[in-house]
Amino acid sequence: MKRRVVITGLGLITPVGNTVEETWASLMAGKSGMASIEKFDVSNFPVKFAAEVKNFDPLDFIEKKEARKMGAFIHYAIAAADEAIADSGLKVTDENSEMTGTYISSGIGDFWAIEREHSKLLNEGPSRVSPFFIPSAIVNLAAGQVSIRHGFKGPNSATATACAAGGHAIGDSFKIIQRGDADVMICGGAESAITPMSVAGFAAMRALSTRNDDPTHASRPFDKDRDGFVVAEGAGILVLEEYEYAKRRGARIYAEIVGYGMTADAFHITMPDDTQSGVIRVMQKAIKDAGIEPHQIGYINAHGTSTPYGDRSETLAIKKTFGDHAYKLAVSSTKSMTGHLLGAAGGIEAVFTVLAIVRHKLPPTTNYQTPDPECDLDYVPNEPREATVDYALSNGFGFGGTNAALLFKRYNEDGTSA
């Protein structure tokens, strides 16, 4: 028998809020997190806007001496993890510490540290490079710092699977608990890649929207006039627990995670597969893992980045996976408000998917103005929607053709299936 795994804690740092409640209220209001970049001078950049975290002070969470040793993505991970752990009511003891783990992924890690220390190397010499450069920048130190901070001695890992990284962290954590290697996992994604090199690189790829005159409407998933994604930052963390363990300690349970899929397109470094094979198979694998039928799913939080090819490809994959049921599904992209958090996208969007089930509210796809004949599903346009959903998917796809799908289920207080 596979062990049941439930969600007991949620934490968020996003461009539209620095807590779960603030972020969710922004989604329900259709608030955009996109604006002109304030972190550096963009006067000579072709793209001058992003979705930055706002009014965030790491010293609210971390001592100044320690904060200086960490990249911003680690700051975000710690803040979101603190919220999720407090939300769960989890207390670390000698008895449970070795069965409690961390799995927090990132697509890039801390680009700021790389750019800053590289400049020091060139201009001031190798002796000026910080001894904390490497541990402030590498991807696994978000999970490592959360583990050290709270005394979690179980599995401690991270993936760097681009924009699927947060989804993979949650799915892998689900399997770690399911097979008995941990009872609790603090998992998700964190990212802080709004830097000169990152923005210049994504712009050079022509991956970013260039709506410099209208940033708040730049991210428009599935809309005919979409022209690229908006790079964003933040963190999304969940506390996953084995069901019986959570019940014994009297934890409040949000929902269950029941399915996980991971696949590769094996097609192209950035373009989606023409046949949508990888995306179709990743959703099918999550559904099969959960032991349900496709028609039981009522909502998909789509990857939906606002790129011309990506949104079309995901739409086609959904139609091929679900057949006629695709037109009965609600599908929305919260990236229309948050922008694209890269390796943290799967973390925050898993939180959104869980809340959609729990609160009977589907977040909208904002900026949806001109329908695209090739994207013809129900994208919950512009306004949130009341709905009772028993099963919901969260999709995440990354460069290199790496895919993740997470399947969540509504939880009944008596412990029975939805």
Residues taking part in catalysis: 163, 303, 340
Print the SS3 string covering 207-237.
Answer: CECCCCCCHHHCCCCCECCCCCECEECEEEE
Interatomic CA distance for residues 276 and 268, integer angstroms: 12
How many CB atoms sit inside 10 A of residue 267's CB? 15
Interatomic CA distance for residues 397 and 164, integer angstroms: 5
Q: How far is CA 171 from CA 7, 34, 142, 201, 395, in A?
A: 12, 29, 18, 29, 11
Strand partners, 231: 340
Task: Return the CA Rg of the chain.
Answer: 20
Interatomic CA distance for residues 233 and 55, integer angstroms: 13
CA dihedral sign of residues 271, 273, 278, 283: positive
Q: Which position has the token pair 């999304």? A: 236
Q: How far is CA 406 from CA 235, 299, 328, 337, in A?
A: 17, 12, 20, 21
Interatomic CA distance for residues 118 and 126, integer angstroms: 9
Supply 417's token pair: 């299936």
The rounded Cα 273 to chain-centroid distance in angstroms is 22
CA angle (279 as vertex; 268, 30 as ends), nearest 5 = 105
Pair 50, 117: CB distance under 8 Å = no
Supply 104's token pair: 């927090």
State the amino acid at position 133 in one-letter form.
F
**Phi, psi (deg, nearest 5) at residue 168:** -65, -40
The two beta strands, 255-264 and 5-13, are antiparallel
Interatomic CA distance for residues 71 and 62, integer angstroms: 12
Strand partners, 36: 49
Interatomic CA distance for residues 319 and 270, integer angstroms: 22
